[in-house]
Amino acid sequence: MKTRFLKLVLPAFAILLAVGLAFATESNTVSQVAYYQTSSGVMEVTIGDDCEPNGDISCTYFGNQLYAEPSLSTPLGRNP
Amino acid sequence: MHTGTFIKKRQAIVETICYLYSILFLYTASSKLMGLSDFKLQLDRSEILGPFAEWIAWMVPLLEIVLAILLLTKVYRLVALYGSLILMTLFTSYIAWMLRFSDHIPCSCGGVISSMGWETHLVFNAFWVVLALIGIVLLENLKKINI
C-alpha cells in the first residue's frame, strides 16, 4: 500500500517540482531589433536583450557587427 | 554473491539518478516552451543550428518531456537513460564545439541554467553525462543479477 502510494506520489511530486521551478525562475527576456551592413545594404535582425549600446564584447550576426540603429552609428556589445 | 542490501542500494542510486534527470529535463523543457520565441531566436543566431531553428525549438523540449516521463517508468528506464546520455552528450559536444570554434555562443538552454557561464555549463553537462553513465552501468548490472 505504502509502496503503491509512493510510486504515484513521487513521480507526481517530481513533475510538479520541475514545472514549478520553471515558472518560478522564468526570466523576462526582451527581444530587440538590431541592424548590420551587408553588400546589399543594411539588414535587420531580431536579437535578445543581452546586447547593449557600446558593450565591451561585440555582438555579431554571422560575423557582421550589429548596431542599434539603421544608420549604424551605435555598435552593440555585451558586458561581461 | 549479491546481498539484498547491495541490490537495494544500487536500485536506490538508479532511482535517484532517474528522478534527478526527470526533474532537470522537465524544468528545462518547461522553461524553453514558456520562452519559445526567445529560444527560437537564440537558435537562429547559431551558425550550426540556425537553419534548423524552427524544428529544433520544438523537438528538443518535446524529446526532453518524453525522456523525463520514460525515466519515471520502470519498464523503459534503461532506454530512457541511454536517450538521456545521447542527448546530454550532444548538448555537451555543441558547447565544446562552440567554445572552441565560435566567437559568439548563443544561449539556447532553459531557465536559470542560461545564466551560467559557458565553461561552467560545460562542467555541469559533463557531470550529467557521468551520472547517466553510472545509471546505465548500475541498471545493466542489476538486470544481469535478476537474470
Average model confidence (pLDDT) for chain A?
80
Phi, psi of A28 (to 5 degrees): -100, 75
Nearest to A26 among B19, B34, B72 (CB): B34
* A30 pLDDT more than 70: no
The pLDDT of A51-71, averaged and rounded, is 84
- B72 contacts in chain A (CB < 8 Å): 11, 14-15
Q: How many domains are contained in chain B?
A: 1
Does B54 reach chain A within 8 Å, measured CB to CB? Answer: no
- B35 contacts in chain A (CB < 8 Å): 26-27, 29
* A55 pLDDT more than 90: no
* B21 pLDDT more than 60: yes
pTM of the model: 0.73
Q: What is the predicted pLDDT for the residue at A43?
A: 79
R_g over Cα of chain B = 17
Q: Which residue of B has its CA nearest to A47?
A: B41
Q: Find where cell 553537462 sits.
A: B125
* B1 pLDDT more than 70: no
ipTM confidence: 0.72
Whose CA is closest to B22, among A7, A4, A15? Answer: A15
The pLDDT of B8-36, averaged and rounded, is 91
Nearest to B111 among A11, A25, A47 (CB): A25
- Residue B24: give the domain boundaries: 3-144
Does B31 reach chain A within 8 Å, measured CB to CB? Answer: yes
